[in-house]
Structure 1
Amino acid sequence: MQLIKPDINVDFVGKRNMAFVLSIVLILIGIGSLIVKGGPNYGVDFAGGTLVQVRFEQNTTAGEIKKALIPNVLDNATVQQFGDDANEYLIRAQESDSGLQGLRSQILDALEPVYGAGTVDMRRIEMVGPQVGQELRKQGLMAILYAMIGILAYITWRFEFRFAVGAIVALVHDVLLTLGAFSLFGKEIDLPIIAAFLAIIGYSLNDTIIVYDRIRENMGKYHGSGVPLTVNRSINETLSRTILTSGTTLLVVLALFLFGGGVIHNFAFALLIGVLVGTYSSIFVASPILIAWQEKTAGKSAP
C-alpha cells in the first residue's frame, strides 16, 4: 500500500520560519504556565509525602472524604477522583512515613464509621520522605542530562557536529513542549514520567537520524543543489516512513491513553504529546537548523 507518492515535493523548508515562531510561542506559553504555577507539579515520588488510593462501594464526593479524614488522620490533605471509576479517589498529604505508622488502619478507622464497615477498599499506599523525593528528582534530571550528552557525542561521531546541534535542539524542544503541556493540563510528574521523557528522547532521536541519514546521502548525490533543496528533498523522501511509523505508534499510545486506566494515564499522555512533537521537530526543527547553520557559516565566510 502506497500512502505517499515517490515524487512528492512538499515545501517544508519554505515554512521553517513559521514553524520556528510557532515552536517559540508554544514553549513560552509552557514556561509561563510553569512560572504562574510555581514550577512543575511534582508527584509524591519527587515532592515527598503520602499517596493513598481508595475505592468506595457507595457514591461519595471529595469534600465528604476530606471532611472525614482531616480532623483524625491527615492534615492539609487533598482528595481527587482517580481514573474512570466515579467512586475511586486519590488522597495526597505532605506527611511522610516518619509520623504515619499504621496509616492503613487509621484511614479505615476514620472512613468506615462514615461509609460502613467493609465498604472501603484500600488499593495502595505510597510514602516518600522529602529527602528521598529530592534525591529522586535530582537523579531523574541527571538521567535526562546524561542522555543529551551521550546523544551529542554519538551524532557528532556518526555525522557531524552541526547535525548533533540540530538533534539536541530538537530534543530540548520536545522535552520543553511536553513539560509545558503537563503544566497546562495540571498533570503530575513522577518517576514513570521521567521514563516517558527518556522514551520521547529516544523516539524523536530515531526519527531525526532517519532524516539526517538521507540528508547526508543526498548531500553526496546532489552537492551542487544547495543545502535547502537537499534538506527538503530528503524530508520528502522519508515522509512515507515518518507517517507510517508515527501513525502506528500514535494509535497504540492513543489506545493506552483512552483505555489504559488511571494508573498509566499520565504516562500515556506524555508519550502522546512526545510522539506528536517528536515527529514535528524532526521535520521543522532538527532539519532546518542545518540550513541555519549553513547560512551562518556562509555569511561569515563571505567577506
Structure 2
Amino acid sequence: MRYNYFGENKRTFSFVDKSRHFFIFSIAITILGIIVLAAMGLNYGVDFRAGSNVDVAVKQNLSDQKEAIEQFLADGEYGTSHLTMGESRITIRFDEVLGDTKEQQLKTDFAAKFDKEASFEVNTVDVEMARELQLNALKAVLLASLGIIIYVSIRFEWRFAVAAVVALLHDAFIVISLFSIFRLQVNLPFIVAVLTIIGYSINDTVVIFDRIRENMRFAKIKSYEDLKRVVNDSVWQTLTRSINTVMTVIVAAACLFIFGSESIKMFSLAILFGLFCGAYSSIFIASPLWLVMKKRQKPKTPAKVTTAP
C-alpha cells in the first residue's frame, strides 16, 4: 500500500533546519578521531599483530587466581603477555610468537600447577600474515562501500548513494575511534562487527530514502522549502520504525555482551556502538546531506517547442 503525501504535516522539530549543528558535531568528532588514531593508533589483537593467542579451557574456576597466573607467566619468561579471565576459559595473548618449545612448556607447567584437565588452543600469527589480514580487512570495507554505492545509485540516484556512503563511513569511523580512545582490542570479530554496522546503517538509511522518494511522487515541489518539508516529514514518518528497530537489536547485542563468552564481547560492544551511530547518522546526517546536494542541482531547462510554419 502506498503512502499518500499531501504536505499537511507540521512538525515542531525540524531535522533539516538543525542539520548544520549535527554536521558540525560529526565533523568535530571525526577530527577528534583522526587525532586520536594518529597519536595512539589501534590496540590490535593477535589477528592483526604478530604473536600467539592461547585459549585455555579449564574445569576448575580459577577466576580468583589471576595474580598467581600472572606471576606464573612472568616467571616462565614467555615475553609480554595480556591475561583475560573467565570462569571456565582463560585467554593469554603474547606479543611475541611462542616457539614449539615454549608452547609445550606452557601447556605442561600450567596443567601441573593449576588444572590437570585443562585443554589448550594456540593461534599464532606471524608478521606477514598480520599485514595481509589488515589489508584484507581494509579491502572488505572498501568493497562493501563500493557495492552500496552501485546498488543505491541504481535503486535511487547518485546523490542518495553519496549521502548513504558518507553516513555509513561516518558510523564505521566513529566506532573505530571509540575503540582507539578506550584501547579496546581490535581483532577479526571486530571487522565482522564493522561490516555488520555498515549493513545495518545502510538498511536504516534506505528506508528513509525510500520514503523521501515516495513522498516526492505526491508532493508538488515548487521551491526549496517544499523539498525541505518533504525530507523533514519523511524522517518523522520513519522515526518510530528506526527507534524500535535499533532498540530491539540493542537488547540482543547487550545480552550477548553481558552473557556471552570473552571471545565475542568486543564484537558485541562494537555492535552496540555502531547501532547508536547508525541511528544517528541515518536520521541526522544522510537525509539532510542529500538535501544539500539536491539544492545545488541545476534546474532542468524546459525543452523548446517548435511550431510548424
TM-score by length of 2: 0.84
User: Pairwise mapping of residues 111-190 of structure 1 onto structure 2 (< 5 A)?
Assistant: 111=110, 116=113, 118=115, 121-190=118-187
CA contact (8 A) 1:46 1:190 kept: yes
Matched residues in 2 for 1:243 and 1:71: separation? 52
Aligned residues: 286
- Among 4, 13, 21, which residue is 2:24 paired with? 21
Aligned partners of 1:110 and 1:277: how far apart in 2?
46
What is the CA distance between 1:279 and its match in structure 2?
A: 0.9
Relative distance call for 1:82 and 1:297 in structure 2 (3 A) is farther
Q: Note if contact 1:57-1:119 (Cα within 8 Å) is conserved in structure 2.
A: no
The Cα of 1:89 is off from its aligned counterpart by: 4.3
Change (3 A) 1:120 1:7: farther
Q: CA deviation at 1:12?
A: 1.5
CA displacement at 1:43 relative to structure 2: 1.0
Look up the match of 1:74: 78
Q: How does 1:197-276 map to 2 (within 5 A)?
A: 197-222=194-219, 223-224=221-222, 226-276=226-276
- Greater radius of gyration (CA): 2
User: Residues 89-104 of structure 1: matches in 2 within 5 Å?
Assistant: 89-96=90-97, 100-104=99-103
- Three-state SS of the structure 2 residue aligned to 1:14 is coil
- With over 3 angstroms needed to count, the CA separation of the structure-2 counterparts of 1:118 and 1:248, relative to structure 1, is closer
- Give me the whole-angstrom Cα distance separating, in 1, the residues matched to 2:257 and 2:245: 18
CA contact (8 A) 1:73 1:106 kept: no
| 8 Å contact kept, 1:177–1:277 | yes
8 Å CA contact 2:107, 2:120 repeated in 1: no
Counterparts in 2 of 1:117 and 1:13: CA distance versus 1, 3 Å: closer
Q: Deviations over 1:246-291 (max 9, x none)?
A: 1111111111112113121000011111111111111111101012
Residue matched to 1:42 = 44
Aligned mate of 1:193, from 190, 194, 208: 190
Question: 1:188-229 deviations in whole A, cap 9, x for unaligned?
Answer: 111111111111111000100000001111122112352211
Amino acid at match of 2:183: G
Q: How far apart are residue 70 of structure 1 and its match?
A: 4.0
- Amino acid paired to 1:32: I
* Cα RMSD (Å): 2.6
